[in-house]
Chain A
Amino acid sequence: MPKLEKFAFWKRPMPDEWRSRTFWKDTGWAYIYLLPALIILGIFTFYPFFSTFRLSLYRVSFTNFPGTYVGLDHFRYIFGDRYFWRALWNTLIIVGTSVPITLLLALVVANLLNKSLRFRTFARTSFFLSYITPMVAVIMVWQLMYNESFGLINYLIGLIGVDRIAWLNSPQYALPAVIILSIWRYVGYQAIILLAGMQGIDQMYYEAAKIDGASGFQVWRKITVPLLTPQIFFLLIISMIGSFKMFTEVYVLFTGTSGPLKSAETLVYYIMRQGFFFTPHYGRAAAASIVLFAIIFIVTLFQMQVAKKRVHYQ
């Protein structure tokens, strides 16, 4: 009971500023300024969120919306569905491989771009192009590059004696094909963000390290990377959430399917398949969305905790 005392706000003395008329006027104005954003968030974020939760408890009928209340049946269904677990596993593989590999490559590229290379501006622009080119166009080009008989990738690996790979028609290679495409697409963007971070690092740290006789790698590991942690943290969150939500790459690369034997199916594709392909099951799709939300929420909370200890803002 004594522990609960600190939550008993009604027992606390009224703060002095509450007696001030100006305080209430300023607070009122603050809320008025916030109102447009709150309305937009309410309509487009909070309402859909709670509505999704409600939908997950119903077997939706189009003609008698929302339909029949079924409790947690949809959660039971998806947890018993082999394709849900496959989609979750695939998503975790994508997050676990593409996020760290992209970040590592981006660090290397940013480091190179930070040096006084010839054609540096051209190189920077080229790396960013992959990000600013419309995604569907990029994926369609990759579809051609992955082609088993005339694709560029099979031609290149053929030069080193590797046999042709059915990238898009074989269950073993479908997911790696998605991961490679995703890494290629985001390396440039992440490199530019990291490059901006690198250029914001005060030169005096490098000069001090030079005087102390630190090697190039030591400087990179002890100065550059720690001072880039705000950017790295930002990119980690953004890319993890992006990877958890991966859909377009799969949908376009495999012409509307999720690869042979659903071997490249991601959680978002699973949600789309349940909700919008074949016979629509909005309830199941909503239940799977709630699970995806819970996963992203927990991962983000964990990242925030790590960030408190590891991210150096100055």
Chain B
Amino acid sequence: MKLRYLVVLSILAAFAVGFMATAQEPVTIEFWHRFGEYNTSMLEQLATWFEAEYPWITVNFVYQGSYSALQQKVNGAVVAGEVPTMTIFYEDWIAPLADALVPLTPYFTDEEIADILPGMLYKDMITIPFNKSIMVLYYIEEYVETPPTTWEEFYALCVENTVDVDGDGNIDRYGTGLRPSANPEQFLALLEQNNGTILNEDWTEVTLDNEAGMEALNFYASLAPYAWVTSSYLNSEIGRVAMAIDTSAGYSHWIDAAEGTEYTVKTAALPVGEKMASFIQGTNIGIFKGAPQAEIDAGVLFLKFLLRGEMTGFWAATSGYLPVTYSGMDSAVWTYALLSSPHSVVSSEMLPSGVSSLAHPNYGDMRAALGTMCEEIALGAATVEEAVETAVDEIEYLLDY
């Protein structure tokens, strides 16, 4: 008799637990992004798996146009107090919005935090990394047989490949390409490789013009005569440059540009200075404090889900970005992806030496000052000393602004 009661009670308890699990109030998370059709479908696939596990949560992806449009909409939404649950954003947009974002550290275990690749962890963890890429070396195999491994080799190949093919007095092919104002990260990767920094550790002093910084700047300046200096994408004229330091996320564009031409595009690790280092780019995800608590909780669950090894591995393998956690790098889906993509192998191998943007509140403006400095040097509008002096003045002003 007792046993019968026990069985009935156990069944009732199981039902009760099941009921409680499924009787959560339905919640919809609004997720703002700017991904194209294909990547959005991959995101939706991730959401489908997530919703199967958490049936009371629905993820609603809202496309917000270009990155610039997304930034304006996010800023406007925060001012108006009409925020989505979560959004993607570049690291240099985050600082002015920091007070509006949920600090995520309390929601994550130490183990989960330790799993995130160190170069991708944003200060105070008010965001988590999501679609990330790293600067790699693109080269045209027909011009560069063996990719350079050191700065010296890179420079020598740049000189060798800067040529006036048709003899009309104009250079037709350059050794490399520089996008100084659009992509100062090309210089920042060199700075990092030379153990240089923009600011000292406690952000009280500009260190850009110290010995390491000046060496990196002089090397950047030495490339200028052998570089196509432009604001256009470096793959917009395939064959114009023999090598280019560019983001791994642009791989498919390089391949598309080379299709049907005589050129073969390949990637390699960046040539090494004092140490191997590269610059990580791409967006993070943050959750807004202004969202209702139920949405914040659901949003955190979605973030944790996205950080799982298989999920970040799946996203990286299908979207062309990179895994953001160690477990993602070890995941079966990413390991499988590496088998068929030498480019992913290159990016993957560079990841542990990746560094992110400075999390200073005025980093956006500092980056603009660095862009101007690089541009002045690349176009010969100022000497290295003049350009760096102006940049240092501007960054010093921004330190206290």
Contacts and interface: CB of A to CB of B under 8 A. Distances in A.
Co-complex (A, B): yes
Interface centre among A171, A259, A277, A279 (most CB of B within 10 A): A279
B44 interface: no
Contact of A260 (B75, B229, B361): B229
B237 A149 contact: yes
Contact of B375 (A62, A65, A163, A260): A260
B381 A261 contact: yes
Interface string A270-299: 000000111110000000000000000000
Contacts of A256: 68, 182, 231
Interface string B164-177: 00001110100000
Contact of B75 (A169, A261, A280): A280
B97 A171 contact: no
B379 A255 contact: no
A261 B375 contact: yes
B71 A276 contact: yes
Given A62-B79, A63-B99, A63-B100, A276 B68 contact: yes
A261 B231 contact: no
A269 interface: no
Interface in A33-73: 62-65
B248 interface: no
Interface size class of B (residues with CB under 8 A): 35 or more
Contact of B365 (A257, A260, A279): A279
A288 to B, nearest CB: 16
Interface in A233-291: 254-257, 259-262, 276-280
A171 B72 contact: no
B181 A62 contact: no
Contacts, number: 74
Contacts of B169: 163
Contact of B376 (A259, A261, A277): A261
Contacts of A276: 68, 71-72
Interface centre among B182, B229, B232 (most CB of A within 10 A): B232
A255 B232 contact: yes
B240 A278 contact: no
A164 interface: yes
Nearest to A259: B231
B342 interface: no
B72 A163 contact: no
Given A63-B99, A149-B237, A278 B72 contact: no
A163 B171 CA distance: 12
B68 A255 contact: no
Contacts of A277: 68, 368
Contacts of B28: none
A280 B96 CA distance: 8
A65 B78 CA distance: 9
A169 B379 CA distance: 9
B233 interface: yes
Given A149-B237, A279-B95, A279-B96, A255 B182 contact: yes
A248 to B, nearest CB: 13
Nearest to A174: B231
A262 B372 CA distance: 9
Interface in A124-180: 147, 149, 163-164, 168-169, 171
B364 interface: yes
B75 A279 contact: no
Contact of A171 (B78, B182, B379): B379
A277 B364 CA distance: 8
B170 A164 contact: yes
Given A62-B78, A163-B170, A260-B379, A254 B68 contact: no
Contacts of B376: 261
A255 B182 CA distance: 9
Contacts of A147: 237
Interface in B355-369: 361-365, 367-368
B181 A279 contact: no
Contacts of A64: 99
Contacts of A278: 92, 364-365, 367-368
A286 to B, nearest CB: 14
Nearest to A148: B170
B79 A65 contact: yes
Contacts of B232: 168, 255
Contacts of A169: 228-231
Contacts of B172: 149
Contacts of B92: 278-279
B97 A62 contact: yes
Contacts of B170: 163-164
Nearest to B289: A63
A263 B249 CA distance: 30
Interface in B323-361: 361
Contacts of B363: 279
Contacts of A257: 181-182, 231
A279 B233 CA distance: 23
Nearest to B365: A279
B100 A62 contact: yes
Nearest to A260: B379
Nearest to B240: A149
Contacts of B95: 279
A262 to B, nearest CB: 8
A254 B231 contact: yes
Contact of B362 (A149, A262, A279): A279
Contacts of B71: 276, 280
14 contacts: A62-B75, A63-B78, A147-B237, A149-B240, A163-B170, A169-B230, A254-B231, A260-B231, A261-B381, A277-B68, A277-B368, A278-B368, A279-B96, A279-B362
Given A62-B97, A260-B375, A278-B365, 18 more contacts: A62-B99, A63-B100, A147-B237, A149-B240, A168-B232, A169-B229, A257-B182, A259-B231, A260-B181, A260-B229, A262-B372, A276-B71, A277-B68, A277-B368, A278-B368, A279-B92, A279-B95, A279-B365
Q: 7 closest A-B pairs (Cβ-Cβ)?
A: A279-B364, A278-B364, A63-B99, A257-B231, A62-B78, A278-B368, A65-B79
Interface of B: 68, 71-72, 75, 78-79, 92, 95-97, 99-100, 168-170, 172, 181-182, 228-233, 237, 240, 361-365, 367-368, 372, 375-376, 379, 381
